[in-house]
Structure 1
Amino acid sequence: MATETHGAEGSSLVFHPMDQFIVKPLFGGDHMGMFTITNATLWMMLAIVAVIALMVFGTSRRATIPGRAQSVAELAYGFVYKMVEDVAGKDAVGFFPYIMTLFMFIVFSNFLGLLPMSFTPTSHFAVTVVLAMLVFLTVTIVGFVKNGAKFLGLFWVSSAPLALRPVLAIIEIISYFVRPVSHSIRLAGNVMAGHAVIKVFAGFAAIAVISPVSVLAITAMYGLEVLVSFIQAYVFTILTCVYLKDALHPSH
C-alpha cells in the first residue's frame, strides 16, 4: 500500500504504512525457513526477556518496601489473579500461571512495538492465531476432562422453548468454533490499525505546511496506542477467563 502526496513545489512523498509489518530474516537474505531467525522472532524473544526481567529479577529481593520493578510486578500479579478469580471462579486459579503468562507476553509485545524501529509480533495473525488456538484447545480439553459428556450441555440452551433448542444449539456450536477467529483478529486488527495510522501521520510530518498538525496527531495517536496496547492485552485475557469459566461450569 503506497500513499503519495505532492507538495506545493512539486516534490513528492511516498510512504508505505504496511512496510512495518513485513517479516524479514534478521541476518539478511530473502529465504525464510522454519528455523530462520526473523525480526518477529527477535521481538518476541525481547518480550519474553522483558517479562522475565520484571517478574523474576525485579522481584528477586522481595523487599518489605518494594522498589519500582517489584511494585509493577506485584500490581500485575494481583491484577491478573483477581481477574481470574472474579471472572472464572476459584476453580480456575490453577490456570493462573498460564493466563498470567499470556497477559504479560501480549502486553510487553504491544508496548515494545511502540518503540521506534521496532516490530510488533501481535500485529500478525500468525502470532495471535496461535495464542487463540492454544486457548481454544486448552479450554476444550479441560471442559471434556472435567465434565465429560456434560460439557456438551454448553451448547444446549435448556431455558429456551423446546422447539428452538436445536436451532440455538447449532448457533452455539458455530459461535464456539468461531471463538479463536474473533479472539485473534480482535488483537491483531487493533494493533495493526493503530500502528498504520501512526505511520501515515509520520509520513505527512515531512511536509512543512501540515507538519505541526501531523506532529500533534502522532502524539495523540501514540498516547492512544499506549492505552490500546494495555486494553487489548486485557481484553484477550478476560475473554480467556470467560471461555475457561464455560469449560469449568458449562451449565452456568
Structure 2
Amino acid sequence: MATEEASEGLVFHPMDQFKVEPLFGGDAIHWYTPTNATLWMGLTVVAIFLLLVLGSRGRAVIPTRVQSIAELAYGFVYKMVEDVAGKDGLKYFPYIMTLFMFILFANFLGLLPMAFTTTSHVAVTVVLALAVFIGVTVLGFVKNGASFLGLFWVTSAPLAIRPVLAVIEIISYFVRPVSHSIRLAGNMTAGHAVIKVFAAFAGAAILSPLAILGVAAMYGLEILVSFIQAYVFTILTCVYLKDALHPHH
C-alpha cells in the first residue's frame, strides 16, 4: 500500500489549473484551436468593452456606478502617463490604457472559480512585454535618431567608467522584456498555486479551519496583487516610453 501511495504522488496537483486545453476535446492544439486560454482572453475583451464602452455610453453628468468606475480607471491611467512620460507621452495613452485594462481584467477574471488565468502564462506576458519593448525602441530611434543611443551613455558619470556603465545599461535594456514578462506571470502563477494548495487541505478534518482561513487570506492578497501587477506593468511601460522620448541622462 505504501508503495502504491508513493507512486501516486500528490493527491492534488496545483499546477493543473494552468494547463492549456482545447475547448471541444481532443489533445492536439494548433494555432487555430479554440482553447481555454483563448476563451478567457475573449471574455477579458468583452468585460472591458462592457465597462468602458457600454458602461459609459450615457455620459451622464451624475454618473452611474459603472460609469464612475470607467472614469476612475481612465483618470488613473491618464495621470500615470502624464506624470511619468510627460505631456508628449499622452499621445500613446490609448495603447497604455488598453494594456492596463487587459492585464487588470485578465488578472481579476482569473480569480473566479473554474476560471483560467491567461496572464499566468509567459507566452501571453512575453507578447505584451515584447510589444512594449519593440515599440519604444522603434519610437526612440524614430524620434531621436542616433542620439537615442545616448540612453546608454551616462554623461553624469566620470569619463573613465562610462564605457563600463554603457555595457551595463545595454544589458539591462535588453533584459527589460524578460523581467517585464516574468514578473507578471510569476506572481499570478505563484498566488494561484498557493490558493490551490490551501484549498486541497480544506478537505482534511483537522486542517480544514486553518485551510479555509488560508484560502480567504490568500484570495484577498491575490486581489491586491492582481491590481498591483497590472499597475507595475503599466508604470514600467510609461518609464520605458519616457526613455524613448527623452533618452539623455
TM-score, length of structure 2 as denominator length: 0.96
**Residues 218-229 of structure 1 aligned to structure 2 (within 5 Å):** 218-229=215-226
Kindly indicate whether residue 196 of structure 2 is the aligned counterpart of residue 199 of structure 1. yes
Kindly indicate whether residue 149 of structure 2 is the aligned counterpart of residue 152 of structure 1. yes
Counterpart position of 1:56:
53
Aligned pair partner of 1:105 in 78, 102, 105: 102
Query: 1:251 Cα deviation (Å)?
Result: 1.0
Query: 1:61 Cα deviation (Å)?
Result: 0.7
Counterpart position of 1:9:
none
Percent identity over paired residues:
75
Query: 1:122 Cα deviation (Å)?
Result: 0.2
Write the distance in 2 (CA, Å) between the matches of 1:207 and 1:241: 47
Write the distance in 1 (CA, Å) between the matches of 2:148 and 2:58: 44
Structure 2 regions of 5+ residues with no counterpart? none
Kindly indicate whether residue 232 of structure 2 is the aligned counterpart of residue 238 of structure 1. no
Counterpart position of 2:35:
38
Q: What CA deviation, in whole Å up to 9, does each residue of 1:162-218 have, x standing for no partner?
A: 111111111100000000000000000001000000000000000011100000000
**Residues 163-202 of structure 1 aligned to structure 2 (within 5 Å):** 163-202=160-199
Q: How many residues align?
A: 243
Larger fraction in helix: 2
TM-score, length of structure 1 as denominator length: 0.95
Moved >4 Å (runs of 4+): none
Q: Please say which of residues 161-170 and 183-192 is displaced more in the overlay.
A: 161-170
Write the distance in 2 (CA, Å) between the matches of 1:169 and 1:231: 31
Structure 2 counterpart of 1:95, one-letter code: Y
Aligned pair partner of 2:89 in 63, 72, 92: 92
Write the distance in 2 (CA, Å) between the matches of 1:243 and 1:157: 17
Structure 1 regions of 5+ residues with no counterpart? 7-11
Aligned pair partner of 1:67 in 54, 64, 76: 64
Q: Please say which of residues 13-22 and 176-185 is displaced more in the overlay.
A: 13-22
Query: 1:161 Cα deviation (Å)?
Result: 1.3
Write the distance in 1 (CA, Å) between the matches of 2:125 and 2:115: 18
Query: 1:160 Cα deviation (Å)?
Result: 1.1
Q: What CA deviation, in whole Å up to 9, does each residue of 1:70-96 have, x standing for no partner?
A: 000000000000000001100100000
| Structure 1 counterpart SS, 2:11 | strand
Q: CA RMSD in A?
A: 1.3
Structure 2 counterpart of 1:176, one-letter code: Y
Write the distance in 1 (CA, Å) between the matches of 2:209 and 2:198: 11
| Structure 2 counterpart SS, 1:14 | coil
